A and B are shown apart, each in its own frame.
Chain A
Amino acid sequence: MELLMAIVIGVLFGTGLYMMLRRSLVKLILGLGLLAHAANLLLFNSGNIERGAPPLIESGAKALEGVFGDPIPQALILTAIVIGFGTQAFAIVLIRRVYEAVDTDDIDRLKLTDE
């Protein structure tokens, strides 16, 4: 399971970066989204991915024993998803504004600030 997840994360990072390197503004947003998913899955992977092993302490025991699914990465992902959602919502509005102002989808023509 972890190997499969690792491959998925790698593919997501790769496609995300590839999309961001294209010249289109829309692909930039798609790339940002894919990168965010990749990072979230990587966080998910850092706790053990175990089926049917909740982090519950047996009655009488003092601490968790054996292999268990760690809940903390899942709490972290929830936070990261919310933040990523906000950022992407803003990004979409921003590219719309840029498109209106510049009248092109081509990132290569956004050179006004470097002159």
Chain B
Amino acid sequence: MDQLILLPIVIPFLTAIICILAYKNYALQRQISMVGSFLLFGVVIWVFTAVYQNGPLSVQPGNWPAPFGITWVVDLLSAIMLVLAGLMMVAVAIYARADIDEHRESLGYYPLYNFLMMGVCGSFTTGDVFNLYVWFEIMLISSFVLLELGGDRRQLEGAIKYMTINVIASMIFLSAVGILYGLTGTLNMADLRGALATAPQGMVITVSMMFLVGFGIKAALFPLYGWLPSAYHTPPTAISAIFSGLLTKVGVYALIRVFTLMFVQDVSYTHNILLWVAGFTMVAGVLGAASQGEFRRILSFHIVSQIGYMVMGLALFTPLALAGAIFYIIHHIVVKTNLFLVSGVVNRLKGTYQLKKIGGLYKKRPFLGILFLIPALSLAGIPPLSGFWAKFALVRAGLEAQSYWIVVASLVVSVLTLFSMTKIWAEAFWAPEPDEGADLEVPPADWWQRVIPVAALCVVTLLIGSTAEWVFQLSLETANQLLDPTLYIQTVLGN
């Protein structure tokens, strides 16, 4: 029964392998990838219900008892992340049917997409720090290739920046793992909790800062976010949508994991640094977005800005704040992927991402306008959409912790987010159409394969907003599990 938590890794792996076996047959690969996506989604829902009802699950493959073997463990946070990854995988797989051209299919888009998802699911499932590094690398190498797939000049330039900075981050992470092992003699995360308490505290804080830098680059935290807005707008929309939804969030997940489970010896010092970083990340991201005129670049800067909110919840380190951060992740992954997908639909209609060259969309396609407005307003935090509840929890936690400046920063950033979203709305949807702006011809099959995932994710956003109480209870339960990891440690190490 517990073994089922390995399925989220096995399914994308097998799908990728079968896709490679059918390398020349793109139509078949497309169907295999589709089936794999839905299977994964079904399995992660199953894993989630099992964890939600019975508590964390863990497996020790090879029957090496923890902490000697590599442990796999799924607690509520991992289960939530897995469900979101599964949902995004299905949505983007449908969208990619219309968006990925035959040239990119022939270069191996489908195997790469599945290997990417294997890396993402592996990162969420593992309970071993070195193993986490390995999953990060699987995810990164797939994402390098996906980013430059097709060999557009802009893609190549974006890819080289993305690759360089991420390899540096990996090296910092790897060095930190080495030092951690030298300090404690264990790599099992649950075991590290106890081992770090007796280790020399100066070294522990040094290592924790190395983890902060390594994961901070991957999560695009201030001042290490520069690579994100210069890479994420270069590949086809389907690829940038899955990147925007999941990759930085894997970094945030890793930060939450290590700074709740492992590095809690000197919270007033380490988490205070996190709080400052969170504030600067929010502000820097949103100000960067304000000066942009390209659809996807605006959205990319907003990813940075919103990572700030998640880290803010982690930094405040109260149950309410962590619950807010988890709610924010749930909301953000759905909404951000959706906005990227909408930008792709607009590009398909108009042939450009430059807002100045787009116009009059609301008049011609009011339905598309609504599909943009729902995630956009949710991102800005307009009630009763999902973003409002997430921000509400965070602001309230900030007030309770008496960190007034971060509350002020988050509210100002929220207003500026609304400004950015209304800018896209006004220029792309409301402004009169520029002279050269005839719509491109879109065949119905192409159109619906793009619009159905967008509409489905809109429904999910509305659902999160309308069942906010349940989602919040779930987040709160997750937060309590993170702050008191006894259950997690017992599941891994036994009694």
Contacts and interface: CB of A to CB of B under 8 A. Distances in A.
Interface of A: 20, 25, 28, 32, 35-36, 38-40, 42-43, 45-47, 70, 72-73, 76, 79-80, 83, 86-87, 90-91, 94-95, 97-98, 101-102, 110-114
A25 B182 CA distance: 35
A36 B154 CA distance: 27
B101 interface: no
B229 to A, nearest CB: 8
A101 B181 CA distance: 43
Contacts of A40: 174
A101 B174 contact: no
Contact of A87 (B151, B156, B167): B167
B181 A110 contact: no
Contact of B159 (A80, A87, A94): A94
A79 B161 contact: no
A87 B171 CA distance: 12
Nearest to B186: A72
Contact of A90 (B141, B171, B181): B141
Given A102-B157, A113-B161, A45 B144 contact: no
Contacts of B326: none
Nearest to A16: B171
A72 B68 CA distance: 10
Nearest to A111: B157
Contacts, number: 101
8 contacts: A39-B171, A45-B178, A45-B182, A83-B137, A86-B141, A87-B167, A91-B163, A95-B160
B144 A94 contact: yes
B132 to A, nearest CB: 12
Interface in B143-180: 144-145, 148, 151, 153-154, 156-161, 163-164, 167-168, 170-171, 174-175, 177-179
Nearest to A77: B178
Nearest to B136: A83
Contacts of B167: 32, 35-36, 87, 91
A110 B160 contact: yes
A27 to B, nearest CB: 12
**Nearest 3 CB-CB pairs, A to B?**
A46-B182, A43-B178, A46-B178
B168 A35 contact: yes
A20 B178 contact: no
Interface string B233-255: 11000000000000000000000
B311 to A, nearest CB: 25
A73 to B, nearest CB: 6
B157 A113 contact: yes
Contact of A112 (B153, B170, B175, B187): B153
B231 interface: yes
A83 B134 contact: yes
Instruction: Provide the main secondary structure of the chain A interface.
Output: helix
Nearest to A46: B182
Nearest to A99: B156
B23 interface: no
Which of A25, A39, A73 has most chain B Cβ within 10 Å?
A: A39
A111 B344 CA distance: 23
B181 A102 contact: no
Interface in B168-207: 168, 170-171, 174-175, 177-179, 181-182, 185, 187
Given A86-B141, A113-B161, A113-B234, A38 B154 contact: no
Contacts of A70: 185
A81 to B, nearest CB: 11
A47 B179 CA distance: 10
Contact of A80 (B174, B185, B231): B174
Which of B145, B159, B161, B174 has most chain A Cβ within 10 Å?
A: B174
B164 A101 contact: no
A112 B134 contact: no
A73 B134 CA distance: 14
Contacts of B179: 42, 46
B130 interface: yes
A98 B141 contact: no
Nearest to B153: A101
Given A20-B168, A42-B178, A90-B144, A113 B134 contact: no
Given A79-B134, A94-B144, A101-B153, A72 B160 contact: no
A91 B151 CA distance: 14
B161 A110 contact: yes
Given A86-B141, A110-B157, A112-B157, A97 B148 contact: yes
Given A83-B134, A86-B141, A94-B160, A113 B148 contact: no
A2 B51 CA distance: 45
Contact of A94 (B137, B148, B153): B148
Given A32-B164, A94-B148, A114-B230, A101 B178 contact: no
